[in-house]
Amino acid sequence: MGFALNAQLVFHPTTLQLYDAIVLGGAAFATTVRDEHLPGGWVLPHLSTLEMEAISYDMSWFDTLTPQQWVAQLGIPQEILDDPFALDDHALAAVLSLAGSPGTVLVSDDTHAGIIIQEYAATYHNGRLLAATGADYILKCGYLYDSGHYQSTLAAVPASPTTFCVERIDKRFAGSFLYDGYLPRSTEPPIYQARREGWTPTTNSPIDVAHMIRAWIKR
Confidence band, pLDDT 50/70/90 cuts, at residue 195: low
Nearest-angstrom CA–CA distance, 145 and 29: 30
At 22 the pLDDT is: 86
Q: Above 60 in pLDDT, residue 201?
A: no
What is the arithmetic mean of pLDDT over 13-27? 86
Domain span including residue 184? 2-217
> Higher-confidence residue: 116 or 178?
178
Nearest-angstrom CA–CA distance, 154 and 90: 22
Tell me which amino acid residue 69 is.
Answer: Q
Q: Above 90 in pLDDT, residue 192?
A: no
Tell me the three state secondary structure of residue 128: strand
At 46 the pLDDT is: 86
CB atoms inside a 10 Å sphere around CB 77: 15
- Give CB contacts under 8 A, 24+ apart, made by 135-141: 135/161
Contact between 71 and 87 (Cβ < 8 Å): yes
Tell me the three state secondary structure of residue 43: strand
Please tell me the total count of domains within the chain: 1
Confidence band, pLDDT 50/70/90 cuts, at residue 23: confident
Q: Above 60 in pLDDT, residue 190?
A: yes
Contact between 183 and 43 (Cβ < 8 Å): yes
